Amino acid sequence: MPSAPAEGRLFVVGTPIGNLADLTERARRVLAEAQVIAAEDTRRARNLLSHLGVSGKPLVRLDAHASEAEIERLADRVVAGESVALVTDAGTPAVSDPGSSLVRAVAARGGAVEAIPGASAVVAAVSVSGFAATAFRFVGFLPRAHKERLEALAKLADDPDIIVFFEAPQRMAETLEELARVMPERDVLVARELTKLHEELLRGTAAALFRAEGSREWIGELTVVLGPYEGRAPAAVDDASLDARIDALLAEGRRAKEVAEIVSLELGLPKRTVYERVIDRKK
């Protein structure tokens, strides 16, 4: 039986990702007894504490914009003898969320850090994917910029392991389209609003999901799981098909470099070769 929260300790507390009933008894006790709560969003933390019947608890905001000085002051409070519970908006702190800087600062000072396990959208999504999870890799959020996101997907396309990432609803349609282009036959699970009232699990190949769901308005928290993959077969593309694809993308108003990136990813061709052909087609 774990002991009650002791002074001079940082507790990394996993909180529900949607369903408040998923909060563990140990997490409830730690949040009630900790002297300070460090939270990504103090309003959400206050709502959680209210649900637990805990009031008057000091709250310190620790989001992605926290300064080094703020982090050091909080770490100093831990090593000075205070018990601090770290929480994020939902799920486990310091996993694609703020908090790792505080953990490092406390550890660097020789302070005690203790994990209070809880809900995780990553593990929850993998568990319901049906993919044989001998190994999986979590990559957080994909880059926001189009070029960087395509480059990231190009690297993931040849990764044989299960891949898990988060995506924002306003970017999900574009990401689904890019998945369909880069890895059309790869199995995909899109888990929306896990553990919440409107939980939805969408399954299929990247191409099939894009055809079925590409035009929908995405709402809520999204976790995407790419199934294991054995690699892509070399593309066999004739010149006429290659030119037709280039012409279609140019007609959409895309820049030459962007067209070269898309076509090279789709067809497995060297980007420089495709770029030279794109320039020829523009003449």
Q: Using the predicted structure, report yes or no on whether residue 238 has a pLDDT greater than 50.
A: yes
Query: Which of 73-77, 97-101, 117-121 comes out lowest in average pLDDT?
Result: 97-101
CA distance 74 to 60: 9
CA distance 82 to 106: 12
Beta bridge partners of 164: 138, 225
Residue 270 pLDDT: 74
Q: Which helix (H) or strand (E) holds 188?
A: strand 187-192
CA distance 227 to 277: 33
- The two tokens of residue 223 are 């976790």
User: What's this model's pTM, rounded to 2 decimal places?
Assistant: 0.78
pLDDT in tens, 250-267: 888 888 888 888 887 777
Residue 2 pLDDT: 45
pLDDT in tens, 5-52: 456 999 999 999 999 999 999 999 999 999 999 999 999 999 999 999
